[in-house]
Chain A
Amino acid sequence: MDELALITSAQRGDLDSFNTLILNYQDMVFNTALRILGDDELAADASQEAFISAFRSISTFRGGSFKAWMLRTVTNACYDELRRQKRRPTIQLEPETEDGEEMDSPRWLADPGMTPEQKAEADDLEHAIQHCLDSLPAEFRAVVVMADIQGLDYTEVAQAARVPLGTIKSRLARARLRLRECLQGFWELLPATFRLNEENIA
Chain B
Amino acid sequence: MKFRDTELLSSYLDGQLSPSESARLESRLSSDANLRSVLNDLREARGVLRQLPARKAPRNFTLTRQMVGLKPPLPRAYPTFRFATALATLLLVVTFAVNALGPSLKYSAAAPAPAYGLGGAPCQACGGGGAAESLNAATEAPTELPAVQAPAATELPPAAQSIVMPTATPALAAADSTRQSETATPKEAPTEAAPLDHFQQTTAPAATLVPAAWQVGLAIVGLLSGLIAFFMYRSAKQKWK
By size class, the interface of chain B is: 35 or more
A170 to B11, CA, bound (A): 9
- A146 CB, nearest partner CB in chain B, Å: 11
By the criterion CB–CB under 8 Å, are B61 and A26 in contact? yes
Would B48 and A52 count as touching, CB distance under 8 A? Answer: no
A164 to chain B, nearest CB (A): 13
> A34–B53 Cα gap in the complex (Å)?
12
Residues of B close to A31: CB separation below 8 A = 54-55
Q: Identify B53's interface contact among A126, A148, A169, CB under 8 A.
A: A126
Which of B35-43, B190-198, B230-238 is near enough to bind chain A?
B35-43
* Bound Cα distance A194, B45 (Å): 10
Q: Mark A53-67, 1 if CB is under 8 A from B, else 0.
A: 001100000000000
* Whole-angstrom distance between the Cβ of A148 and the nearest chain B Cβ: 4
Beta-carbon contact of A19 and B68 below 8 Å: no
B20 is an interface residue with CB less than 8 A from chain A: no
With contact pairs A15-B70, A129-B52, A149-B50 given, residues A51 and B14 touching in the complex (Cβ less than 8 Å): no
Known: A27-B54, A55-B68, A56-B68. A48 touches B3 (CB 8 A): no
A163-202 interface code vs B (CB 8 A; 1 in, 0 out): 0000001101110110110010000001001101010011
Please report whether the interface of chain A is mostly helix, strand, loop or mixed according to DSSP.
helix
A30 contact set on B, CB distance < 8 A: 55-58, 61
What are the residues of chain B within 8 A of A170 when measuring CB–CB?
3, 7
Task: Give residues of chain B (4-21) contacting chain A, Cβ–Cβ below 8 Å.
Answer: 6-7, 9-11, 14, 16
**Interface: B241 (CB within 8 A):** no
A153 to B40, CA, bound (A): 21
B177 to chain A: which residues have CB within 8 Å? none
Contact of A201 among B47, B52, B58, B68 (CB under 8 A): B47
Which 9 A-B pairs give the minimum distances between C-beta atoms?
A173-B10, A148-B49, A180-B45, A30-B57, A19-B62, A196-B47, A180-B41, A176-B45, A179-B45
